[in-house]
Structure 1
């Protein structure tokens, strides 16, 4: 690592760690845009390591900037040397890469902008006897991006009256018309995202 940083290649390691910090939230967006929703939870296991990866990214870029800004030793030589460096070794380029890394690290905070705006469920007046509520406990959600991905799949199911998903609480509460859909259909919609329903509690609303 030290050798790489001294050779002005440390930014590569910094970008890789920055990308890894948000991979668990980038994947659901890519899965939704690519129509492969089942891949959404592929990197959810990275979430517990985010603080460490963020710290490593900051450490790498601090070392790279230190190497870039520290005074260079003057060579006692009368010969002409070409001190011109390429753009890839310049401070402006390193500045751009640092900004890119910051954007990658903060991805979970603006990931929802990549999801289509979810429409409120439109259900004709349902018979109260058919209105049910189910709370699903879901495994694998790690950020707001996961929440939007689950909601996106739920909203496609007919008979939904209202729903609320929380990655922090690892659950989704859904009110639905039991004559138009079922608990199993709702669970299947959630499971299609790659996150897994681990338990459910059904009640009459």
Structure 2
């Protein structure tokens, strides 16, 4: 007869995965916004960023306890000839290992998520011939709401769609976007609108 009920184990697995997912949602949603065209939904979970370290610690603690329960020695059976009871799949070490790997991938997403973004089209090709000489301008926009490199890639993708934009360099660490564009085809307000459409917001443009 088993001393460990199945339900607590399922609860631990679910809590561990949920905490890992919550810790990474602020960086997963920008990628979903680009791939699925969700627009402003990208910043919906940015409020979770200040709690990320706590969620990571919760994930490690929950899964650590699950491993302790899984690997702790069991009491010897009274009947030495009894056939060991086969565990359900969700109580096996292999399943816990799969859950742990999935949680680790979720927790590490902010560090590799930017590599999953679709390749951006060359912005230089967006500067079409208009019959007049281009009037190049470079502006730097301060952006609020970005929480990781995935957010920066989302902003880059949006700004590159503005006709006349030649180059875009978004820095998550500095919370800025430096944009070079042809003032004949694009206006600063169009660039600002493209940034705001991602769900993040322009704090102030500077020269």
Q: TM-score, normalised by structure 2?
A: 0.88
Aligned length: 199
Query: Residue 138 of structure 1 aligns to a residue in which SS?
Result: strand
Match of residue 114, structure 1, among 116, 119, 128: 116
Measure, in 2, the Cα distance between the counterparts of 1:153 and 1:184. Answer: 14
Measure, in 2, the Cα distance between the counterparts of 1:117 and 1:4. Answer: 48
Q: RMSD of the alignment, in Å?
A: 2.3
Answer whether contact 1:161 1:175 (CA < 8 A) is retained: yes
- Note the alpha carbon deviations across 1:25-75, whole angstroms, 9 max, x for none: 111111222211110000011112111111111111111000100001234
Measure, in 2, the Cα distance between the counterparts of 1:195 and 1:59. Answer: 33
Answer whether contact 2:152 2:170 (CA < 8 A) is retained: yes
Extract unaligned runs of 5+ from structure 1. Answer: none
TM-fit CA distance, 1:76 = 3.3
TM-fit CA distance, 1:7 = 2.6
1:87 aligns with 2:83: no
1:165 aligns with 2:167: no
Q: What is the correspondence of 1:139-178 to structure 2 with a 5 Å cutoff?
A: 139-178=144-183
Cα distance, 1:48–1:5 mapped onto 2, change above 3 Å: farther
Measure, in 2, the Cα distance between the counterparts of 1:64 and 1:182. Answer: 56
Measure, in 2, the Cα distance between the counterparts of 1:150 and 1:164. Answer: 9
Answer whether contact 1:5 1:67 (CA < 8 A) is retained: no
Extract unaligned runs of 5+ from structure 2. Answer: none
